[in-house]
Amino acid sequence: MATIHGIFPALPTPFDAKGQVNTKVLRELIRFLLQAGVDGFYTTGGTGESMLLEPDERRKVLEATLEEVNGRVPVIAHIGDIATHVSADLAAHAASVGADGVAAVPPPYFPIDLPALKAHYQAIADSAGDVPVWIYYIPSATGSSISTESFQSLLEIEQIVGVKYTAINFYEMRNLIEMMDGRSFTIMSGADDSCLLALTMGASGAIGTTYNFMAAHFVQIYEAYQRGDIASARELQFAANRVIKALTSVPVIAGTKVILRRMGFDCGLPRRPLRPLTPEEEMRLWSVLESTDFERIAGITLQAKS
């Protein structure tokens, strides 16, 4: 099993002018991020607009990612869906093409009890075979809060090896780690603005949106923490958070694609019902980003505005 730690960009799904998945741009972005020193990739999660993709599109994104990465770093495929059979089918595909792990959000929309949730993850685990399974915990998006006791029940499924924890209750996150009592188990933080906080509470790394355009910066945060230089890691996190504050002043996925376009990776527009930024929003975003010394933080000279 691949070791999961460090900085994992949650890849966007690039679209071309016709709204089709653009694997050429995806591959270019992956090459750029590998050069920046990232430790792995996470495909078709929230940043990748997973719930707005057809299953075949999700398969296409994963296959292109695995081909471009070519075993250099681990790749986790998010296969979560509202329907268990779709998640299970995507898990089986991910296993068949060589993904290093699969992750799934609890099914959104319908309220389901713990036995139903456990059966959902068991079906995913059965389909994934020997491939490790991750719970993607993001209550702000799914509306599902999982108690520590419920986590304990879910973790009776042997293939579940970790949680992508996109929440900021680090007390509960730490409880999950300690609950494992020696079992191999990994937490990856999902809140970019709290990456360092999660590391100090025992997370092994982080999976996030802004690592697509601040990859080298977050690698520095992780490396500073690993060598015990908390003061440097803290200042780097503060600098990243000023960029994150600018991004969250607009719709995040649309804003991310605007930033990546200026960096030379035209990921197209977000898929409806998500909307692109208005010209006014884009101007405001760049105005705030320029005040954060974004080019230095991103480690790249931006192309001319378009």
- Site of tokens 């993607």: 136
| Residue of 42, 121, 137, 164 marked catalytic | 164
Determine whether 24 is an active site residue. no
Q: How far apart are CA 239 and CA 212, in angstroms?
A: 16
Determine whether 164 is an active site residue. yes
Residue ranges in 136-226 assigned as alpha helix (H) = 139-142, 148-154, 170-179, 195-200, 215-226
Q: Which two tokens stand for residue 217?
A: 């910066």
| Residue of 136, 137, 165, 225 marked catalytic | 136
Q: How far apart are CA 190 and CA 186, in angstroms?
A: 13
Query: How many other β-carbons are positioned within 10 Å of the β-carbon of residue 211?
Result: 28
* Bridge partners (DSSP) listed for residue 6: 205
Quick one: the chain helix, strand, coil %, rounded to 5?
A: 50, 10, 40
Q: Answer positive or negative: Cα dihedral of 185, 188, 194, 196.
A: positive
**Residues labelled catalytic:** 136, 164
